A = this chain, B = another copy of it.
Amino acid sequence: MAPEKPSYRPLHLQIRDLLRARIASGSWPAGAPIPSEIALAAEFAVSTGTIRKALDALVASHLIVRHRGRGSFVASHSRHEALYRWFSIEPDDGRRCFPDDEVLARERGAATQRERALLDLPPDEFEVLRLFRRRHVRGQAMIRDVLVLPSHMFPGFDWPGAQHRFTTPYEYYEGEHGIKVIKVEETVKAELANSDDAVLLGLKAGSPLLTIRRIAMTFDDRPVEFRFSRVRPDGYSYVKRIS
């Protein structure tokens, strides 16, 4: 006999996915209030306990936030807690602080073979946006990076222009282009500083350097941004906590 597909999924999972779809589709935009437990229970004709289990899962995956007495809301990158969520570099003295951006250059061009693959560009799309930055902390150049974006997902892209309204690129993607980054994958390597690193980060060529390649994804693992960072290693570490 051929294996049967599961004919049943728990209600709370079905509801969780339906609610997630509403957030993914943009019908519930970032920051918007969502219906109360009671309203949702009525809409789906289930008990509040089942709704609660679905909402708890969305809280766990950072898709909504809930406040007793106020209601539930679609999570947003503009919340302060979101700032450090994706940023894994910490000074060795423990005093975390978020770097300032300096946009060095911006270009629009044909995607390389590698960029096409990393960003999973559809066959009829060939253009990417590239944003070259330098990032400072306490006045010192700490990171230089390049952000590569699929052009077709960001019509009218204007990050340096919108920088006064949004504190991070992800907040800008979300607020201005309706694209919510929900997952990133970073691979870290050690390399040697080249002459550009020497100039931009004030290092000696040939000194060691941390490099980070990041793929940022939205719903359904769709790539949104590829980022390549080169980090000066003196005084800073890449940190991962596992529990």
Contacts and interface: CB of A to CB of B under 8 A. Distances in A.
A188 interface: yes
Nearest to A184: B242
Interface in A59-114: 61-62, 85-86, 88, 90, 92
Contacts of A237: 187-189, 213
A238 B238 contact: yes
A233 interface: yes
Contact of A183 (B182, B190, B192, B242): B242
**Which one of A90, A187, A233 has the greatest number of beta carbons of chain B within 10 Å?**
A187
Interface size grouping (class) on chain A: 20 to 34
Main secondary structure of the interface of A (DSSP, over half): strand
Nearest to A217: B243
B210 A188 contact: yes
A62 B242 CA distance: 11
A239 B240 CA distance: 9
B239 A188 contact: yes
A51 interface: no
A184 B186 CA distance: 19
**Which one of A62, A90, A191 has the greatest number of beta carbons of chain B within 10 Å?**
A191
Contact of A233 (B184, B190, B239, B242): B190
Interface in A168-220: 182-192, 206-211, 213
A232 B238 CA distance: 17
Q: How many copies of this chain?
A: 2
Given A86-B242, A208-B209, A209-B208, A233 B189 contact: yes
Contacts of A190: 190-191, 208-211, 233
Contacts of A242: 85-86, 88, 183-186
Interface string A40-52: 0000000000000
Nearest to A242: B184
Given A190-B209, A191-B190, A208-B209, A184 B241 contact: yes
**What 4 pairs across the A-B complex have the smallest Cβ distances?**
A190-B190, A187-B237, A190-B208, A183-B243
19 contacts: A61-B243, A62-B243, A85-B242, A90-B187, A183-B241, A183-B242, A184-B243, A185-B241, A186-B239, A186-B240, A186-B242, A188-B188, A189-B208, A189-B210, A190-B191, A190-B211, A191-B233, A213-B237, A238-B238
